[in-house]
Amino acid sequence: MDNGSSHVAKKTRAWLAARPRFHVHHTPQHASWLNQVELFFSTLTRRLLRRGQFASRDELAERIDDFVLAYDEHDAKPYRWTYDGSPLKTA
């Protein structure tokens, strides 16, 4: 999970401490590339999966492959990383 305030709050930490079978792994700070992955899966869900009907698992996999190829060709835009590692200013 990310380092959002809801994930590191005292109540959340207490809940997790009471359930030792859960092992939390935090993503690195400034890992905004994960947002890009989440955006892609959101697009995949909205455009293909939500209302899609698939006769088999093989058909689903084939349709996802076709979607990814079409997305890469027509919709994908380069992402330019701008964070240089210097400390961020706080408000």
> Domain spans of the chain?
1-30, 32-77
For 39-60, what is each residue's pLDDT tens digit? 889 999 999 999 999 999 999 9
Question: What pLDDT, in 10s, does the model give residues 23-35?
Answer: 887 777 666 667 7
Q: Please report how the helices 57-74 and 33-44 are oriented relative to each other, as an axis angle in degrees rounded to 10.
A: 120
How many angstroms separate the CA atoms of 15 and 69, rounded?
42
pLDDT at 36: 78
Q: What is the 3-state secondary structure (H, E, C) of 54-68?
A: CCCHHHHHHHHHHHH
- Return the top range by mean pLDDT from 35-39, 47-51, 86-90: 47-51
* Cα distance from N-terminal residue to C-terminal residue, the chain: 24
Mean pLDDT on 1-25: 83
pTM comes to 0.54
